[in-house]
């Protein structure tokens, strides 16, 4: 029911803030100890705090909502890989932006997404370093720090791709095929003369925040025009998808069909490729705020 969802959102926001305290404590400890481990390769990092934050969050969710399923980055890495079902499922990245976290670059967050019937329904992303909390519930808008509805400014018409500010990430998949796709895309949009892009038609710029979830939030806030990445995992995007959509944005996954139905199908969940585009003036978000007046 709506009351249940409201309660879950309140619970999730409080949980994100509690996790944020542990992330800040962890940041001090890791910057002092440099105790960092590698997962799949030398750029896929993990610390004891990724695991500790996930344990804290999983424990609190199990206490409050024992029937809910749980998919978490670190549990998944440890081999706990539950099937995605229609049951309410928390999809959690305890520290999204672990590389930033270990370098003290203040763009790391906890990302808590709730899927219901496989669709992202509640999303909370909290960056404790900047005290920025993004939250959204399907059909009820996206907010920063619970007060300011996103996008905070009226969305401008979408610029051409060549004049946009675009979020992109190298990610931790540095395999030859992925790197080839990324470097070709980056150089082409940056204005590679080999592709005859007329002067003045290249993208205004690229930004890499180092956290997929925070890139989604930047698109929701209208700070980035779009975000493109190959290599994301469900826990990187489950919360961001709700936040971006509720701010009027569009999320495109691997398969066209999963986009049209707006359902977070298994294809989309594990598709690994995402394009997120910010809202424009006649976006659904604008219409729903009109309807609320
Ligand atoms: C990663 C970050 C990074 C993105 C990767 C993610 P992690 O998550 O969001 O910016 O490029 O695709 O996997 O490892 O920091 O939780």
Q: Determine contact, residues 213/126, Cβ cutoff 8 Å.
A: no
The answer to whether residue 155 is domain-embedded is no
Cβ neighbors of 28 (< 8 A, separation 6 or more) are none
The candidate with the shortest Cα–Cα distance to 68, out of 51, 85, 50, is 85
pLDDT (tens digit per residue) in 222-258: 999 999 888 888 899 999 999 999 999 988 875 543 4
For residue 101, the model assigns a pLDDT of 97
Rounded to an integer, the average pLDDT of 158-179 is 86
Query: Cβ(252)–Cβ(214) under 8 Å?
Result: no
**Domain limit, last residue, from 149, 171, 200:** 149
Considering the domain boundaries, does residue 214 fall inside one? yes
Q: 64 with 128, same domain?
A: yes
Same domain, 139 and 268: no
Q: Assign residue 245 the CATH number of its domain.
A: 3.40.190.80
**Domain co-membership, 186 together with 132:** no
Residues 92 and 202 occupy one common structural domain:
no
Same domain, 117 and 59: yes
Are 25 and 120 within one domain?
A: yes
As for how many domains the chain has, the answer is: 2
- Residue 210 forms part of a structural domain: yes
- ipTM of the shown complex: 0.96
How remote is the C-alpha of 268 from its chain's centroid?
Answer: 14
The predicted structure's pLDDT at residue 69: 95
**5 close to 12: Cβ distance less than 8 angstroms:** no
Whether 230 and 273 share a structural domain: yes
Q: Average pLDDT in the 193-209 region?
A: 75
Q: What is the arithmetic mean of pLDDT over 186-191?
A: 79
Q: Is residue 46 part of a domain?
A: yes
In a domain, 154, yes or no: no
Catalytic status, residue 83: no
Q: Is the distance from the beta carbon of residue 113 to the nearest atom of ligand 1 less than 6 Å?
A: no
Residue 117 sits in the same domain as residue 40: yes
The answer on 130 and 171 residing in a single domain is no
Q: Is the CB of 171 under 6 A from ligand 1?
A: yes
Residue of the CA atom closest to atom 5 of ligand 1: 171
Domain housing 174: 161-292
Q: Which residues on adjacent β-strands are paired with residue 91? A: 71, 113
User: Looking at the structure, do residues 193 and 96 belong to the same domain, yes or no?
Assistant: no
Whether the per-residue pLDDT at 290 is higher than 90: the answer is no
pLDDT score recorded for residue 104? 97
Which CATH number covers residue 82?
A: 3.30.540.10
Estimate the share of the chain in helix, then strand, then coil, as percent rounded to the nearest 5. 40, 20, 35
Q: Could you tell me the distance, in angstroms and rounded to a whole number, from the CA of residue 213 to the centre of ligand 1? A: 8
pLDDT, tens digit, 9 for 90 and up, residues 26-82:
999 999 999 989 988 888 888 999 999 999 999 999 999 999 999 999 999 898 888
The tens digit of pLDDT for each residue in 89-122 reads 999 999 999 999 999 999 999 999 999 988 899 9
Both 183 and 277 in one domain: the answer is yes
Domain end position, chosen among 114, 149, 184: 149
Residue minimizing CA distance to atom 3 of ligand 1: 211
The sign of the torsion formed by the CA atoms of 236, 120, 19, 79 equals negative
Residues 194 and 256 in one domain: yes
Domain boundary among 117, 149, 181: 149
Give the whole-angstrom CA distance, residue 170 versus residue 269.
Answer: 20
């Amino acid at each position: 029911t709506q009351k249940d969802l409201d309660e879950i959102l309140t619970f999730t926001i409080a949980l994100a803030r509690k996790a944020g305290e542990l992330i800040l404590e962890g940041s001090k400890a890791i910057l002092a100890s440099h105790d960092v481990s590698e997962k799949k390769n030398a750029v896929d990092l993990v610390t004891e705090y990724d695991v500790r934050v996930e344990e804290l969050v999983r424990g609190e969710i199990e206490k409050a909502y024992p029937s809910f399923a749980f998919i978490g980055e670190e549990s998944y890495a440890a081999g706990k890989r539950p099937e995605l079902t229609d049951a309410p499922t928390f999809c959690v990245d305890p520290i999204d932006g672990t590389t930033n976290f270990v370098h003290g670059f203040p763009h790391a967050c906890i990302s808590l997404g709730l899927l219901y019937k496989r669709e992202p329904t509640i999303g909370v992303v909290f960056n404790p370093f900047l005290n920025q909390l993004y939250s959204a519930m399907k059909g009820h808008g996206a907010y920063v720090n619970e007060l300011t509805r996103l996008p905070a400014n009226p969305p401008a018409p979408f610029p051409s791709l060549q004049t946009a500010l675009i979020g992109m990430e190298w990610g931790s998949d540095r395999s030859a095929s992925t790197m080839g796709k990324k470097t070709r895309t980056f150089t082409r949009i940056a204005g590679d003369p080999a592709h005859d892009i007329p002067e003045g038609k290249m993208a205004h710029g690229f930004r890499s925040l180092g956290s997929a979830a925070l890139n989604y939030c930047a698109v929701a806030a209208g700070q980035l025009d779009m975000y493109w990445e190959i290599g994301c995992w469900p826990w990187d995007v489950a919360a961001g998808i709700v936040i971006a959509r509720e701010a009027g944005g569009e999320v495109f996954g691997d398969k066209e069909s999963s986009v049209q139905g707006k359902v977070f199908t298994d294809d989309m969940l594990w598709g690994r490729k995402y394009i997120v585009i910010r809202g424009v003036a006649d976006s659904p978000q604008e219409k729903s705020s009109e309807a609320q007046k």
